Chain A
Amino acid sequence: MAASGIAATPPGSPPSSPPGPASPPPGLRVIAPPRQGTRSWPLIDRLGYWACWAAGISLCAIAIAIVVYMFVQGLSALSLHLLVTSPAATLQQSQSGGFLDPLEGTFVITAVGIAIAAPLGVAIAVWLSEYGNDSPLARAVESAIEMIAGVPSVVLAIFGLLVFSQSFLGFLSESTSSGNATGKSFLTAGAIMALLALPLVVAATREGLAQLPGRMREASFGLGKTRATTIRHVLLPSVRSNVAEGVVLGMGRIIGDTAIIVILLGGTLKTEPAGNVPVLGLLRGTGSTLTNYVYYNSPAGEGNSHEKAYAAAFVLMIIVLVLNFAVVRIAAGRRRSDDIGGSWWRLAGGRGLIRTLRPAQEPRT
């Protein structure tokens, strides 16, 4: 064929021509659009405009105030000692210890909650967008998720206490002398926490799946792959960053919740395992988290030690800020990166973080 000679050059290589000037010559007048003022507007419009402006500025001011205040108060109260000692039940401030246990509790409860919410949420999202086909059942599932997302966490917590104190669910917590279960443990609180994170994971995953072009599925079906294979090997790997984003958002929800902790984690500041089995004992036992600790030590609580409350709140804020930062990085990474063949870690902002630390390094090609 005549064209085969031409085709030897790799297609897509741009034609080589000398580059033209990068900016117009100095003599040329550059016309900029006139700056729009509000002077010519009617008074009511101007008032509205300035009200919007003021609202935005005050929100910024509040955000900055929170961060600065917590920074100053928290950082001055925070010490390594607080981070590595367990709380003790005494009114003597100097002996009431630090918040090692609540810090651990925060991580444990988040892990339990996400371990339940992530697989469940992804499964629900996949079913809704790949199998549901807007059937009545799919719409019912959607409404149910929206409802759970709207229920205040304290209501979920009370419901959880009701369910998990049934005697046949005693293996999740400790049994009381009357034969019922206490219903209070890392497992029960984590299970209810999962309900908080679930809608976020579902929403993020569904959004990702909805954005995948139909031709990606078609391509896989056209190769004789089943729907299940397509989901497992093409669709899910493509929405990993969405799943990661949903999971991180869910973690933020779990870490920040207090009501469920107060009602379902037992209200003991120290982590108190049930029984001697290493991991299971911890999970069945009671404890506390940072939110709980802040409440307890705030002027409203019993501990009445503001300094420690500020220090714990500061640590809590740092954790949540890091999570928010991770969400932003994941979303930005998804927009920028077309390389979805990597690991979960790379997608979960790992590569973005590395690139931030070493901006000079070229991205992998």
Chain B
Amino acid sequence: MIDRPHPRSAKLFTIDADGRMRHLPRTELAMLFSPGDVVIANDAATLPASLRGRHVASGQPIEVRLAAWVSVRDPTRFVAIAFGAGDHRTRTEHRPPPPLLSPGDHLSLGPLDAAVEHLLDHPRLLALRFIGSREAVLTGLARHGRPIQYAHVREPLALWNVWTRIAADPIAFEPPSAGFALDWRTLAAWRQRGIGFATLAHAAGLSSTGAVALDQRLPFDEPYRLPERTAAAIKRAKLERGRIVAIGTTVVRALESAANADGSVRAGDGVASGRIAHGASLRVVDAILSGVHQPGESHYELLRSFADDAALDRIAAALAEHGYRAHEFGDSVLIERQPRVPRQ
């Protein structure tokens, strides 16, 4: 169990394209990068995606975690993951399964009434429809929903804790946590130093379900919206040999999903599907700022497109030696794409 450290006390590990490593206070982020570089962040706000209640037919307790949109921004229909008794203080992999669910079953979730539309191909995975207007459902979610909690965080998390400083459109199911490294002071410093800043909105999904078979399928398909202005900033930077810095794995997924062969990106709505991993070539992104991730997580797999396993092992050893904190509210790692990782 950890207490969330104050963001201003966080650490930053960097490794540049030449393999040079540095340990910095994260406030130094404001002094990194060069004029002409563009930083791209995910400004999605996070939904209170964890809902507790009971399975009406059996009277058994249930927790539902909204995990993906059926139709983005329609708050009445979701893909969801169900848990039985217990709460977030039990690690998700040890949580009992939900009561036996059948299509048409109702779940009473605080003020919300939800129906199981159909079961997907795993006992925890279902399509859920809330009964009522979009507005009424959004009100119910806002009042009864809680952010998805973490077994390793002692205090209960409120939306105050999981919206990044730049959070705008509430479409993510878990926070785009690399963005906790950003504050308005840093953005102002970048502006003064001629470093570009632009955003996209990517509906970050669940990072872990507690079921190995499900976790191997993560991330689910995630819709994103990439503004024209952001596409234009990337195009300009590419022309002027500026670097594209992605704040977090969701930004990498969205940008690479929107990539054209020449390294430009298509503006508009899209869906990022599948994993980016070892051997995948990056067409847009030159560097990634992320949290400290462990081998096997989908986030870690994505880092393998920035650095080969030998380099990632060196990074992991340096992080362990210096006591970097590996969780959503922990320290940060900036990895510039290593030249040995091929690029198209």
Are A and B genuine complex partners? no
Q: Taking beta carbons and an 8 Å cutoff, which residues of B are in contact with A? A: none
Q: Taking beta carbons and an 8 Å cutoff, which residues of A are in contact with B? A: none
